[in-house]
Chain A
Amino acid sequence: MTSFLTLLARNRLALAGGIVLSLVVLLALLTPVLPLADPDVTNTSNRFQPIFSDGAVLGTDHLGRDLLSRLMWGTRLSLAVGFAAAIVAATIGAGIGIVAGYYGGRIDNIIMRGVDMLMAFPYILLALAIVAALGPGLFNALIAVSAVNVPFFARNIRGITVGIAHKEFVDAARLAGLSNTRIILSEILPNVIPVIVIAMSTTIGWMILETAGLSFLGLGSQPPQADLGSMLGEARSALIANPHTSIVPGVMILIIVMSINLLGDGVRDALDPRLKSGALSRPMAATRVDRAEQPPAPTDQGLLEVKALETQFHIKDRIYRAVGGVDLSVEKGECLGIIGESGSGKSVTALSFMGLVASPPGVITGGAAYYEGEDLIGAPYKRLRDMRGRNVSYIFQDPLATLHPLYRVGDQLIEAIRAHRPIGREEGRAKAVELLNAVRIPNAEKRISDYPHEMSGGMRQRVGIAMALANDPDIIIADEPTTALDVTVQAQVLTILDDLRRSRGLAIVFITHDFGVVAQLCDRVAVMYAGRVVETGGTGDILDAPRHPYTARLMACVPELGGGKRRLEAIPGLPPVVDNLPAGCAFADRCDRAQDACRSGDIALAQTGNHAVRCLYPVAQEEIA
């Protein structure tokens, strides 16, 4: 509760709304004791006095009544009626909702049908019909506004009640022989009251507006009694000659409703956990780059050369070092595997190249990714966009989520081409068919008009690959493209990728947690742990003789290469949380070879031939045999 209040207080707008509203309510409460003129005393010789005239700070209305006094009394009345309507609607609506949700079945069905019917009306028609039947008057307007809002409360509260009615404590109370009424009052009601209060805070502004509206139409408060709405309604005929009589009550309604809305928004934000984590931030077009130091120069190794790459996630005041200085390179026609557990930073590494790490919260804080000597990390968005999909393209993990659900796959393919060069309708279609044929989708002419949800997982992933191929890129970065697929489909997809690499001279960066896939496809492997490469070398070397204890353990979990399920979760312990990395070797806590030396100071990647390892006590050849 206190945390809720501090959150609310931190929201300055909500705070302002709260203060203004409290002031208005306070003044309304004090109105009877304030030294105000009588609001109903008419004095036609003194009509339409302007604002700031003697004896009438806000002037007088068409009957010479003191506007300030009428405003205060009107505010009091409007607030009272609005709050009363909210309470009545909330009470009746909650009652209906609780009964429907608690009893369920037929009762629920009938009640909710009725509620749906009521919601089929534009609200004012219902209100007008009620006022028409009961006759104009403030009390009848109150009934109408409450009645119109009852369905809203009933539906909300019913939803909550259904959730509670099946909880253990309710069952327990039932078994204890408590009556339904007792259970509703003692078990259900206390749990729904907070929801009722929130629903009220978001609707009360509306109810004040609606009652003011009915009064404005002449269907609410009847003279001489006046709320803000009827003041405005009466002033309307003098709008042009004496606008202040309209402006005074109108602005007051605006102030009240706006402060309620500000406060209500603040309450909602404070209660919505999604906003707290900042998860609703939109990722920008390219990852933010904020490099403190000049990145290391390229050394002309390969088509893509990654140097000391560092990518972090800044969430609130915590910094997660997802990638902590990674060096990689890949040649034309070569396949590099990046392997590691989830959270090892392998995907973030790959997404960093083209600025595709969601940002916020992602920030690239160091290093470079050289594509033919050109640094992609510092490249302006325009250049990056131009290269995305044309020079470097991506294949993602779950094609159901990564393909647009509302566009036909053919159109998505054509769009990939069109992003880089203009292409006519017919040519685009032909090219899309050609691409689908290249990834061996049968019946390509027909399939291009399928939506993603109409395809199987394997077919969708082939579409994903076809899309990556659309502009004949030099490098394909495949981020666990086969993880969501079953084994046979997985094998087919891998074969397609391997063929494409050989026939088109593609460089592939293949991210996976699966040594079987690595063995099948990759020339070289980099093993990642806690955001760093811990071992790298030729696939054969590493598979035959892993030197880092982590790699060895990874492989030990794999019963048989090329087999079925090979998940890495089998290693005891968890990877370290990357916002609080230990000094020295990040793997030390899970390593059975760990010595004191492992926990102090940075450990360098030690190179022997083509094989490099980041470990003080690497596994020796003999130990494996």
Chain B
Amino acid sequence: MTGYILKRLLSAIPVLFGITVIVFLIMALIPGDPATAILGSYATPENVAKLNRDLGLDKPLVQQYFIWLGNMLQGDFGTSFALNRPVIDEVLERFNGTLVLAGTAFVLCSVLGVVAGVISAANQYGLADKAITFVVLLGISIPSFFLGMMMILFFAVNLRWFPVSGMWPIYGDRTFSVLLTHLAMPAFALAVVATGVVARLSRSAMLEVLRQDFIRTARAKGVHERGVIWRHALKAAMVSIIPVLGIQAGFVLSGAVYIEIVFQWPGVGRMLVDAILKRDILLVQGGVVFVAACYVLFNIMVDVAQSLLDPRIKT
């Protein structure tokens, strides 16, 4: 197992490398003088000169890349000029918020999606199946930011069940239950689309598995239908569901950008959008590389989970 994890970690190195190349190349698209673009309104001649020195912006592109990469490997993602603090500090702090939000949404969409898919498949063409199929269709068609706004309107403003926005109250204690009330709506709004996708896929994976011979064996043994569905079929279906969960994690991270804006959630997504609007290029660059790298690592965890589930995978 450790060998397998190491192997997967090693195989992630070229991907991480590729990610930095892609981000670097995209940033090379910036029209005009990069130092001025990065500094924007902070561009005093001294600043431009310092930045050119630090980032090697006057050197050839390939050399620039390696300077940038070398700096990042030492934990130096540059300095955000708009915020006047190291990029990495800001990203790490904001990433916490995103992790809480996206992590909760991911757990929600995995559990709800799989359960809905299983129920749907187990009652194929029945009432529950039709209801779930309809809700799922609605869920994958509604823009998460619109759903979030409607939830604020209904649950926070009209019913006053939840606070309108934010991760913590401005005044007051930062307890777990307070966090939960703030988290409930954004996490749900964020999870909806992914839940729909997971439910759809789980349903078809279950239908595929339920026709397999080993399901008939379980029934012939006298296993209760509940056990047939939730133990035998679901376990086998998880083999094709887990990779989709990995992909959905990417969608949840993406959707978090909108949800963080709608709910004023202090996360990386909102930070990135603010940074783009303020043309804080280094912050965007650092944030994108950092989050993408985390996503790659997360997918390794997904692969490991898959290999734990399926003994046929050679580890």
Across the interface, B138 reaches (CB within 8 A) one of A258, A419, A464, namely A258
A396 contacts B by Cβ under 8 Å: yes
Residues of chain B with a CB closer than 8 A to A467's CB: 217, 221
Q: In the complex, what's the smallest C-beta–C-beta distance from A280 to chain B, in angstroms? A: 5
A117 engages B22 (CB within 8 Å): yes
Is there contact, CB below 8 Å, between B146 and A254?
Answer: yes
Contact A232 B146, beta carbon cutoff 8 Å: yes
Partner of B276, one of A132, A386, A405: A132
B253 within 8 A of A: yes
Q: Is the CB of B217 within 8 A of A402?
A: yes
Residues of B within 8 A of A393 (CB): 220-221
- Cβ-defined contact, B143 with A257, below 8 A: yes
Q: Does A84 contact B (CB under 8 A)?
A: no
Is B68 part of the binding interface, using a Cβ–Cβ cutoff of 8 Å? Answer: no
- Which positions 216-236 of chain A face chain B at CB distance < 8 Å? 216-219, 232, 236
Known: A285-B228, A467-B217. 17 other contacts (CB 8 A): A123-B254, A132-B276, A133-B27, A133-B30, A217-B273, A243-B153, A250-B150, A254-B142, A282-B122, A385-B225, A389-B220, A394-B217, A396-B217, A398-B213, A403-B217, A406-B311, A419-B224
B216, A122: Cβ atoms closer than 8 Å: no
Q: Does A416 lie at the interface of the complex (its beta carbon under 8 Å from any beta carbon of B)?
A: yes
Whether the Cβ atoms of B223 and A419 lie closer than 8 Å is yes
Q: Does B296 contact A (CB under 8 A)?
A: yes
22 chain-A/chain-B pairs, Cβ below 8 angstroms: A120-B19, A122-B295, A124-B254, A125-B291, A125-B292, A129-B26, A132-B279, A134-B29, A217-B261, A236-B262, A247-B150, A261-B141, A280-B204, A280-B207, A282-B121, A389-B220, A390-B222, A404-B217, A404-B232, A416-B222, A451-B311, A467-B221
Of A124, A283, A406, the residue contacting B210 (CB under 8 A) is A283
Contacts of B54 in A (CB 8 A): none
A128 touches B288 (CB 8 A): yes
The reply to whether B273 and A219 contact each other, CB–CB distance below 8 Å, is: yes
Q: A209-B143, A261-B141, A401-B213 are in contact. Are A128 and B219 (CB under 8 A)?
A: no
Q: Which parts of A249-287 form the interface with B (CB within 8 Å)? A: 250, 253-254, 257-258, 261-262, 265, 279-283, 285-286
Q: Which residue of B has the minimal Cβ distance to A357?
A: B216
The interface bits of chain A over 131-173 (1 if a CB of B lies within 8 angstroms of the residue's CB, else 0) are 1111110000000000000000000000000000000000000
A123–B143 touching, CB < 8 Å: no
Closest chain-A Cβ to B282's Cβ sits at a distance in Å of 10
A-side contacts of B161, CB under 8 Å: none
Nearest residue in B to A258 (C-beta to C-beta)? B141
Alpha-carbon distance between A283 and B206 when the two chains are bound, in angstroms = 11
Residue A544 at the chain B interface, CB threshold 8 Å: no
B interface residues, how many (CB within 8 angstroms): 85
Closest Cβ of chain B: how far from A103's Cβ, in Å?
A: 21
A239-B277 in contact given A121-B295, A402-B213, A416-B221 (Cβ < 8 Å): no
Residues of A within 8 A of B41 (CB): none
B27: chain A residues within 8 A (beta carbon):
129, 132-133
Interface membership of A358, Cβ < 8 A: yes
Chain A residues closer than 8 Å to B288, beta-carbon distance: 121, 125-126, 128-129
* CB-nearest residue of chain A to B209: A282
What is the CA–CA distance of A454 and B138 in the complex, to the nearest angstrom? 45
Note all chain A residues with C-beta closer than 8 A to B251: 122-123
A366 and B124 alpha carbons, distance in the complex (Å): 26
Closest to A285 in B: B225
Determine the chain B residues whose CB is within 8 A of the CB of A203 once the complex forms.
Answer: none
Q: Are A117 and B222 in contact (CB under 8 A)?
A: no
Q: Which residue in chain B gives the minimum CB-CB distance to A250?
A: B146
Query: Are the CB atoms of B222 and A219 closer together than 8 Å?
Result: no
Q: Do B311 and A453 have beta carbons less than 8 Å apart? A: yes
With contacts A122-B295, A451-B312 known, is A216 near B222, CB below 8 A? no
Contacts of A218 on B, CB cut-off 8 Å?
273, 277
| Distance between Cα atoms of A213 and B251 in the complex (Å) | 13
On whether the beta carbons of B23 and A129 are closer than 8 Å, the reply is: yes
- Smallest beta-carbon distance A243→chain B, Å: 5
Q: Is the C-beta of B250 less than 8 angstroms from some C-beta in chain A?
A: yes
Q: How far is B15's CA from A118's CA once the two chains are assembled, in angstroms?
A: 9
B152 within 8 A of A: yes
Q: Is A558 an interface residue (CB 8 A)?
A: no
Q: Are A122 and B292 in contact (CB under 8 A)?
A: yes
B residues near A420, Cβ cutoff 8 Å: 222
Per-residue interface assignment for chain B, residues 119 to 143, with 1 indicating a CB less than 8 Å from any chain A CB and 0 otherwise: 0011010000000000001101111
Per-position 1/0 for B170-205, Cβ under 8 A of A: 000000000000000000000000000000000010
Contacts of A319 in B (CB 8 A): none
**A331 CB contacts on chain B under 8 angstroms:** none
Quick check: is A579 within 8 A (CB to CB) of the other chain? Answer: no
A213 partner, pick from B145, B216, B219, B222, beta carbons under 8 A: B145
A285 to B143, CA, bound (A): 39
A338 at the B interface (CB under 8 A) = no
**Chain A residues within an 8 Å CB radius of B143:** 209, 212-213, 216, 232, 250, 253-254, 257
B284 within 8 Å of A (CB atoms): yes
Q: Is A113 among interface residues, defined by CB-CB distance under 8 A?
A: yes
Nearest Cβ on chain A to B61's Cβ, whole angstroms? 14
Judged by a CB distance under 8 angstroms, whether A501 is at the interface is: no
The listed residue with most A CB atoms (<10 A of its CB), out of B121, B276, B296, is B276
Is A387 an interface residue when CB atoms closer than 8 A count as contact? yes
A624 within 8 A of B: no
Q: Which of B140, B204, B236, B277 contacts A405 (CB 8 A)?
A: B236
The residue from B145, B210, B261 contacting A282, defined by CB atoms under 8 A apart = B210
The answer to whether A7 has its CB under 8 Å from any CB of chain B is no
Contact call A117/B19, Cβ cutoff below 8 A? yes
- For residue A1, CB closer than 8 A to chain B, the reply is no
B126 CB, nearest partner CB in chain A, Å = 11
Residues of chain A within 8 A (CB-CB) of B235 are 404, 406-407
Minimum CB–CB distance from B35 to chain A (whole Å) comes to 15
Q: Chain A contacts of B22 at CB under 8 A?
A: 117-118, 121, 126
Q: Does A406 contact B309, Cβ atoms closer than 8 Å?
A: yes
**Interface residue A356 (Cβ < 8 Å from any Cβ of B):** yes
Q: Contacting A401 at CB < 8 Å: which of B31, B207, B214?
A: B214
- Alpha-carbon distance A239/B152, docked complex (angstroms): 9
For residue B295, which residues in chain A have a CB less than 8 angstroms away from its CB? 120-122
Say yes or no for B157: interface residue by CB 8 A criterion.
Answer: yes
Report A-chain residues with C-beta under 8 Å of the C-beta of B239: 406
Enumerate chain B residues within 8 angstroms of A213, measured Cβ to Cβ. Answer: 143, 145, 258
Residues of A within 8 A of B121 (CB): 282
B140 proximity list for chain A (CB < 8 A): 261
Interface flag for A498 (CB, 8 Å) = no
Partner of B221, one of A130, A253, A280, A388: A388
